[in-house]
Structure formats: C-alpha cells, structure tokens
Amino acid sequence: MKLVLYSPVVATPQGFPRLEDGTPYLPGDQVQQALWTAAFVYATHRDKAFRQAVRREVMAEAPQRDLPELMAALEALLFERWPWLRDLSIPDLPLPNVQMRRAWWVRLRDGEVLKDEHLETAKAVLEVDVPLTEEQYRFLDAAGRSFTEALADAEWRLFRQHLPGLEAFYQELKGYVLKRAPLPLRLGYWTEDPYQGRLLVFWRVPEVRQVVRRLYRHDPRPGTVLYAPAEKQTFGWAWLGEVSAL
C-alpha cells in the first residue's frame, strides 16, 4: 500500500525525528492518529448509538476533568465500539528526502498571518503496510473522505475572502482529489490546534459546543492552518492507497 503525501507534511515545528543513521522519518503514530481522528468524526455522524454515547460523555460535565481526559474518554468509546482500531499498528516511515519550506500560520477567522517561518517538510510516496480487512478499509475510506471533505469545505469558506490565491488548490482538492483518492487523510502538524480537528465534531450541536467552550475554554474549530505560500497549498493532505488512483 502507498501513503501519498499530496501537499507538504510536517511532523513537528522542530522537524522530523531521525533514525540512528540520521534518516528522517514520518512517525507511524501520526498516520494512526489521522485514521483515528477521521473514524471518530465519521462515527459520531453516522452511528446513532455511538453519537449518543459521545454526547452523554461530553454533557456529563465531570468535575475536575480537563480536556485531555475528556478526549481520552472519547477515544476509549471509539475503541470499545470498534476494537480493531485500537490494534492498528503503523510502522515509522523513512523519508527519501525532506525540504525546508516557508510556512505561514494563518488565522482562519480573518486570514492574518500569525507566524512566518521555514519548516522541514516532506512530499513523497511511501510504502506502508497496514493490515486491514476489506471491510475495515472501506470503513476508513468513508471516514477519511467524509472528514477531509468537511475540512476542505470549512477552510475554503473562511479562506476565500482572505487568500484568493488558494482557490485553484481547493477547487482541485475538493472537486477531484478528495472524490477520487482512496482513503484521504489530514496528516501531521497542519494546525496549532493540539486536537488536529477532532473537536470539530462538537461544532454542529450548540449545547455541546457551549459545554466544550465553557468547561474546557477551547473552541471546537481549529484557529489556524499552515499554508505554504510558494506552492499555494495548505499542509497535511494525503491519501492511503494506490498512486494510480488519480
């Protein structure tokens, strides 16, 4: 199976970790987390029983519980419902090359560039062994497609006023890549939000959104997105499947 890094991917703002011989690699747990995130958001929309369990957990307003504890509890619900997700193991993926790219941290609500730095990035096609049954792959493919399409729609609605130069990228991404690519993902460090978009699932339900804001003082929407001005692309778009899919 191939992991295609379609737009620049960053592991951390400090760069990619290295193997003992100095080879940079993409941590397998970042691919794993991207799969879990897509599965969580998709399942909350599509599985009524799981959605109700998530809602009960968020609305419980457990005293002294912080946001990481809530997210751990929600992740446990996901694994209880689909135990095979917990058992997914993705190996670390050596990178053939990395490149320093200029990156802007763009605030979504008004397009302001909050930071302008050079980051170590990768765009590559990587071999990866992901032991999935056909049914599991279909589930993750639907989850990845649903999550990435929702992200792309939301970002473009906010970006089009402030960064019109991104129109060609988002039109191709939304109209072609995410509709045809197998198992699309949002991967790596693409926003400063520590939850990488997982909280977006709470945005559509006002009372749940208010609980997250009030108790945890965190907006469910990512506040920033990383943007590569030279390529006119946002960071972290990838897919897991065949290169020839497009």
Looking at residue 62, what is its pLDDT?
64
Q: Are 51 and 45 in contact (CB under 8 A)?
A: yes
Q: Report the percentage of the chain scoring pLDDT > 70.
A: 87
Angle at 16 between CA 196 and CA 91, to 5 degrees: 80
- Supply the pTM of this predicted model: 0.88
Is the pLDDT confidence value at 246 over 70? no
Q: Does residue 245 have a pLDDT over 60?
A: no
Q: Residue ranges of the domains in the chain?
A: 2-245
Locus of tokens 């990035």: 121
Model pLDDT, residue 115: 92
Q: Is the pLDDT of residue 220 over 70?
A: no
Q: Which of 8-17, 46-55, 196-205, 234-243 has the highest mean pLDDT?
A: 8-17
Residues 19-64 have pLDDT tens digits of 999 999 999 999 999 999 899 888 888 888 988 888 888 877 666 6
Check if the beta carbon of residue 124 is closer than 8 Å to that of residue 96. Answer: yes
Amino acid at site 156: W
Distance CA 106, CA 130 (A): 33
Average pLDDT over residues 8-27: 94
pLDDT of residue 99: 95
| CB atoms closer than 10 angstroms to residue 114 | 11
157, pLDDT greater than 80: yes
Cβ neighbours of residue 81 closer than 8 Å, sequence gap 6 or more: 43, 47, 49, 50, 53
Structure-block tokens of residue 171: 């039109």
Q: What integer best gives the mean pLDDT of the chain? A: 86
